[in-house]
Amino acid sequence: MQTEATMDVSSWDGTLSPHEFSIAARTLAHEWKRFNPAFPPWTWVPSQNRLGLASHNVCYLVDGYLTLEKLCIHGGPSEIHMPSQEEEVYEEIYTEKEELVDNATLVESYSCELHFYDFHIVYSAAYRVPVLYFRVYSIDGQPLVLDELKDLPACSEKLLLESKWTFITQEEHPHLNRPWYMLHPCGTSEWMKLLFSSDASLAKKGVVVELYLVSWLSVVGQVVGLTIPFELLNCLKSSLLSCCKQDAG
């Protein structure tokens, strides 16, 4: 935990520097693993684009990005499981060949409902905020389009119908150079500043860097059914404020 990474919220514009993004990324990965040990971890992937090199007129100032891959969602965003567990269930059903046609139909229906999500958190040099990229595919690896996604929360489905290409867009992944869906970062800095400014304890202690990605993901993750346990955010906040008190003492 890097408590020296602090800032004055009153004069903060809601953005992160590349170095601050790296600190926040390590904090998220560490806390996620601590609170969700049974789930796939967030992993830091070194970038092929090094400092000072440009791609598509964007200068890459961060040496990597976070990935959370093969997260399986079945039947809705509240039912998130380990991929291996889902595949084992699928295999168990599939091998029950003696159960005739009805179960064969059940297997086909069940496998079609299995969706695997890959999430990437990438630093945007243009907006100076994190951006959530994601892709979704079925159990056979076939990619899904937005219209086929039934796992999204009801509020997301409504927003997609009303403003599909301004809410979630499909863009080229800046590190992979392949089309991925992304939550557009426009407005992120404004609501992140508002989020932290509304908490007097955080504004006073200035521990926003390490809390940034955890807090940000607790909001944007809901759009795609990726939830952050309340205990994770609450415990991290308490721990950081406690460290600040000790340092002040």
DSSP string of 2-67, one letter each residue: -TT----GGG--S---HHHHHHHHHHHHHHHHHH-TTSPPPEEEE-SS-TT-EETTEE--SSEEEE
Report the residue count for the chain.
249
Tokens of 47: 């970038």
Domains of the chain: 9-248 (3.30.1460.50)
State the DSSP H helix or E strand holding residue 145, giving kind and residue range, or none if neither. none
Q: Which of 10, 235, 27, 14 is nearest to 127 (CA)?
A: 14
Percent of the chain scored above 70 by pLDDT?
A: 62
Does 2 or 209 have the greater pLDDT score?
209
All residues at 6 or more sequence positions from 185 whose CB lies less than 8 Å from its CB, including other chains? 124, 127, 129, 130, 131
Q: Is 25's pLDDT higher than 90?
A: yes
Cα–Cα distance between 129 and 127 in angstroms, integer? 5
Lowest mean pLDDT among 72-76, 81-85, 140-144: 81-85
pTM: 0.76
What is the pLDDT at residue 105? Answer: 39
What is the pLDDT at residue 249? Answer: 53
Which residues does the annotation mark as catalytic? 186
Q: What is the pLDDT of residues 192-202, one digit of tens each?
A: 998 888 776 76
Count of beta carbons in the 10 Å neighbourhood of residue 164: 12
Q: What is the pLDDT of residues 76-103, one digit of tens each?
A: 444 455 444 444 444 443 444 444 444 4
Cα–Cα distance between 184 and 172 in angstroms, integer? 13
Give the angle 212-173-17 at the CA atoms, nearest 5°: 30
Percent of the chain scored above 90 by pLDDT?
A: 33
Mean of pLDDT values over 36-50: 85
Max mean pLDDT among 99-113, 126-140, 159-173 falls in 126-140
Amino acid identity at 60: Y
Q: Are 215 and 196 in contact (CB under 8 A)?
A: yes
Mean of pLDDT values over 1-6: 47
Q: Is the dihedral of CA 192, 47, 82, 136 positive or negative?
A: positive
